[in-house]
């Protein structure tokens, strides 16, 4: 199942150990990692990226990881790590995070100032390996399944904007010069927003398809390890 995974630690050292353990779990076939980062929460409410991992599916830009990090920065904003390549406008968007606001609230309550977290977008086959490894390091694990990227939602937004444009143009035909200029400005703004929305939707869908492709490749690569782990899991008492 595709999930956003957040593991909160008391300090950076433990968080880096947790990130290393997560990569080891990927090598063992217990999890597939699409993107991840180690994030520190500061006393002023901002969050900064201490370490960034780019996996086969791409960078943090356009992923749920990037969006969640932006949202965790709170109203003060996000202090982006040097060379991270992220921009606040690209990540502080709940819709792109593909999780509910309640999950962000839960993480915010756990990731208090001076604590450090791993934030990762993963394909998790079962929860026991991650929970066991992270809890042994003193980490608190929070996870949430990610919603699908849906073309329909984007189409509905564009359709609504097109309706507004049509109405404004209809009013322009009957308006005086000063009012016509204002309506024309609104039309231009909406048309620009529609193009931006379409471009953003296309990028999201392409990123989603790329992660799906990577997931299948990782599943094939780790099929043997996953099978062995499932056999061991079956022997574990409930």
pLDDT digits over 31-84, tens only?
A: 888 888 899 998 887 888 887 664 443 456 557 787 788 788 754 334 334 334
- Exposed e or buried b for every residue in 144-178, given b needs 16+ CB within 10 A? bebeebeeeebeebbeebeeebeebeeebeeeeee
Cα distance between residue 204 and residue 146, in whole Å: 14
Q: What is the DSSP letter of 141?
A: E
The rounded distance, in Å, linking the Cα atoms of 131 and 30 is 11
Flag whether 122 is in a domain.
Answer: yes
Nearest to 187 by CA among 163, 153, 151: 163
Residue 136 in domain: yes
Mean pLDDT for the chain? 75
Domain-embedded: residue 184: no
127, 223, 229, 238 from 235: Cα distances, Å: 16, 19, 10, 9
User: Quick one: pLDDT at residue 55?
Assistant: 45
Tens-place pLDDT, residues 133-158:
999 999 999 998 876 545 555 666 67
Q: Provide the pLDDT for residue 75.
A: 42
The C-alpha angle 55, 51, 79, rounded to 5 degrees, equals 120
Number of domains the chain is built from: 1
Q: Within 13 A of 170's CA, how many CA atoms are on the CB side?
A: 6
- pLDDT of residue 113 exceeding 70: yes
* Residue 178 pLDDT greater than 90, yes or no: no
Residue 59 lies in a domain: yes
Q: In the prediction, which pLDDT does 58 show?
A: 43
Residue 202 lies in a domain: no
| Res. 20 pLDDT band, cuts 50 70 90 | very high
Tell whether 55 is covered by a domain: yes
Whether residue 96 is contained in a domain is answered as yes
Q: Provide the domain limits for residue 97.
A: 2-149
pLDDT score at 48: 81
Tell me if 233 is assigned to some domain: no
């Amino acid at each position: 199942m595709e999930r956003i995974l957040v593991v909160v630690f008391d300090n950076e050292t433990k968080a880096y150990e947790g990130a290393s353990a997560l990569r080891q779990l990927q090598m063992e076939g217990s999890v597939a990692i699409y993107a991840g980062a180690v994030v520190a929460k500061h006393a002023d409410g901002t969050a900064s990226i201490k370490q960034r991992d780019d996996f086969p599916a791409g960078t943090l830009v356009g992923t749920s990881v990037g969006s969640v990090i932006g949202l965790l920065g709170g109203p003060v904003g996000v202090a982006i790590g040097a060379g991270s390549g992220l921009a606040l406008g690209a990540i502080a968007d709940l819709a792109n995070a593909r999780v509910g606001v309640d999950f962000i609230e839960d993480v915010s309550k756990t990731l208090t100032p001076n604590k450090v977290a791993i934030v990762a977008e993963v394909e998790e086959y079962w929860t026991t390996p991650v929970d066991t490894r992270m809890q042994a390091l003193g980490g608190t694990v929070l996870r949430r399944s990610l919603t699908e990227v849906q073309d329909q939602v984007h189409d509905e937004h564009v359709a609504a904007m097109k309706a507004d444009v049509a109405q404004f143009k209809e009013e322009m035909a009957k308006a005086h010069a000063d009012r016509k200029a204002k309506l024309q400005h609104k039309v231009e703004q909406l048309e620009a927003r529609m193009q931006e929305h379409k471009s953003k939707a296309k990028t999201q869908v392409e990123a989603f398809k790329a992660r799906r492709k990577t997931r299948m490749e990782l599943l094939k690569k780790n099929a043997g390890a996953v099978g062995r782990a499932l056999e061991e899991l079956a022997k574990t008492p409930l």
